[in-house]
Amino acid sequence: MESGVVFYMLGTLAIAVVLGLASYAIHLHIKLREREQAKPVVVTDAGGISCEQRHAMRRANLIEQLERLAMAALNDDVNISEITIRSRYLLDHLDPEQHMRERFEGIYLHYEAVKDFAVKEARDELTPAERRQEDIERLRAERENGEQVKLALQELLKLRDISALN
């Protein structure tokens, strides 16, 4: 064989190898791009906290506040009606779809009984007779609903241990 033919064959072989490697590199590049596009985008705030982390922190904070309120009420440190009103709003934020409403029915039941009573400045504007009447009605509602509220408050203390809550 002549040297020209050998160089021609070696040149052809080199071109084939380069084309094969180039096509394999393109194939790998396409696969990499597909993987990058398939990755979920994690949105973070300026502090680098993702939406999921912020949501988990908010849930933990709500549960902690509910636990504190429950402990205060069960220790008779705070009026049951006041705790019921505060707990109901926190529960609504923790569980907007109200999947847990039945579980904490005592809180919601008592809330309905006391939600329209005057508080803060509005209570100060009531006459002494009106204030006394509201107090009588509030105490009656607390007697009627007290046990159910306390059972619901005890359930609130179990929230941290429940993995079913999302």
- Quick one: pLDDT at residue 163? 42
| Residues 10 and 55 placed together within one structural domain of the fold | no
As a whole number of angstroms, the distance between CA 105 and CA 69 comes to 16
Contacts of 45 (CB under 8 A, 6+ apart): 54
Residue type at position 76: D
pLDDT classification of 100: cutoffs 50, 70, 90? confident
Q: Domain span at residue 6? A: 1-39
| Residues 155 and 121 placed together within one structural domain of the fold | yes
Residue type at position 115: K
| Residues 128 and 55 placed together within one structural domain of the fold | yes
pLDDT classification of 1: cutoffs 50, 70, 90? low
Are the CB atoms for 80 and 142 separated by under 8 Å?
yes
- Quick one: pLDDT at residue 44? 66
As a whole number of angstroms, the distance between CA 16 and CA 4 comes to 18
| Residues 72 and 34 placed together within one structural domain of the fold | no
pTM greater than the 0.75 cutoff: no
Average pLDDT value for residue range 49-68? 88
The pair of three-digit structure tokens given for residue 62, joined into one six-digit string: 């709500």
